[in-house]
Structures are given as structure tokens and as C-alpha cells.
Amino acid sequence: MAHLDGKTAVITGGGTGIGLAIAKRLAADGAHCVLMGRNLERLQEKAAGIDRARAERCDVTDPDSVRKAFAAARETRPVSILVNNAGIASSAPFHRMSEDEFLRIQDVNVTGVFRCTRAVTDDLRAADYGRVINISSIAGLSGGPYISHYCASKHAVIGMTRALAAEWAKTQTTVNAICPGYVRTEMAEGAIRTIIEKTGATRDQAIAELAKSNPQGRLLEVEEVAEIAGWLCHPDSRSVNGQAIALNGGHSM
């Protein structure tokens, strides 16, 4: 019997990239996965290819949308696993960054994590097994030029992770963050396009620029992040709590 049999896992941003890879990984371990995101058609298409998976539209910036999506997710059983993966990024020098853009990033990357976690708090506090996995970034562990708003959001996610892990330490639910470097996703593609547009670099040169932050000299694959998420969901990982796990090929922060 798979160790996640009978457990419901919600994955926000579940239709692409890291979120989709995590959904596939948890489903392979027996979980009933609920893929959440704004594009319902894409979510339904991806869920159709995963055993025991279904889709729910959810805009993490809309409290009513979050409430409805999570009510639907727990129709048959409480939520045991929450993967807060939904996130956005942009870049701008600080002196040109608008307040609206700063707040837009925080609303998705920080307040969205709060809203979704709050939606399953009662389930997880009473559960005999629970996991919250927040997808942060190496930008949550260090700074970087032109992404001060993104760095702020990912630092906040790690702070929330550590605080909630301490608060819930006497329960059966753990709360951890995964902090990848650049992963081969749509978000990385956006960064690659920006480098090309602003510097005139070739695609290979732009990828190499991103890969410089990894001593292994490469972009990560989504399956590598999913493997850590799967490990954190294993019952034998219950002592791992309040951690910000860096996936960066050994880069020293």
C-alpha cells in the first residue's frame, strides 16, 4: 500500500512546472491530488493524466475564490497535504519599482500562502498526519539585484514557515519550505527572455547566466523539486519541521 493512500493533497499553481511535477509525485505515492490555479481548462487537462487527480479553479488573490476551492477540495475528506506553489515574479531596479508592482508580488507570493494555509488550518491542526510545503526560492535566503520585491516575498514565506512550524510543533503537522535555484519552468523562461531583450545575449548565453548561480552549472529540473516534496510527505520525515531546504547545487549563501 502506498504511504499516501486516502490522503488529499492540494497543490496551488498545479497546472504547470513545479506544481504539476509535485502533483504527479504525490499521486504516485497514493495521494488524491487537487490541482488548483486560475486556468481551469489547463488544470483539467493535466489532472486527466494523473491518477486520482482533479482540478479546482482558485485565484489565491481572491479570498472568496480560495474559500470555494478549498470547500470543494474537502468534499470527501479533509486536506492532509498543502503545497503552496502558486507564485509570480518580475524584475525592475528598485528606484523604478512601483508600489503597485511591489504589492502585486506580495499578494500572490505571501498573502496567497496565508489565505490557502488558513483555509486548511482546522483540518491540519486536528489531523493525525499533515504537511504544509511552501515553495520559496534561494531568493528567500539571499538577495539579488532587480528583484527586491520578489526577495521580500520569498523571505516572508520562509519566516511564515518557521513561525507556523514552531506554533504547530505539538501537532502532527509539519511545515517546511523548499528553496530552489533557477528551475527549467515558464518562470525561468521569462527570466531568459528578459536577459535576451535587455542584453542582446543569445538564448544559450542567457541560460548560462542563470545557471551561474548553481555551482553545478545547470538549471534544475522540476522533478528534483518534486522529489524533495515527496520526501517531506513521507511519514518518516515527521521530524523535519520549520526548515528552508536549499536546492542550489551547493551554492554558499
Of the ranges 84-88, 200-204, 249-253, the best mean pLDDT one: 84-88
Q: Distance between CA 98 and CA 100 in Å, rounded? A: 5
H or E element: which one contains 206?
Answer: helix 203-211
The confidence score (pLDDT) of residue 185 equals: 85
CATH topology of domain 8-181+221-246: Rossmann fold (3.40.50)
Domain range annotation of the chain: 8-181+221-246, 183-219
Query: What does the H/E/C string look like for 38-78?
Result: CCHHHHHHHHCCCCCEEEEECCCCCHHHHHHHHHHHCCCCC
Backbone dihedral region for residue 16 (phi beyond 0: left; psi -120 to 50: alpha; all else: beta)? beta
Task: Tell me the HSE value of 33 on the side-chain side, using a 13 A CA sphere.
Answer: 30
In tens, the pLDDT along 53-112 reads: 999 999 999 999 999 999 999 998 999 999 999 999 998 999 999 999 999 999 999 999
Residue 164 has pLDDT above 80, yes or no: yes
Which carries the bigger pLDDT value, residue 190 or residue 41? 41
**DSSP 8-state symbol, 21:** H
The confidence score (pLDDT) of residue 225 equals 97
Summarize pLDDT for 107-159 with one digit per residue, the tens. 999 999 999 999 999 999 999 999 999 999 999 999 989 999 999 999 999 99
Give Cα 14 distance to the centre of its chain.
9
The residue whose grid cell reads 515553495 is 135
Set of cell numbers at residue 69:
476551492
Q: Are 116 and 70 in contact (CB under 8 A)?
A: yes
pLDDT of residue 24: 98
Q: Pick 243 or 209 by higher pLDDT.
A: 243
How many Å apart are CA 248 and CA 220, to the nearest integer?
A: 8
CA distance 32 to 238: 20
Higher pLDDT, 164 or 193: 164
Positive or negative, the CA dihedral 21, 24, 27, 33 is: positive
Is the whole model's pTM more than 0.85, yes or no?
yes
pLDDT of the residue at 1: 56
Q: What is the CA radius of gyration of the chain?
A: 18
Residue numbers annotated as active site: 150
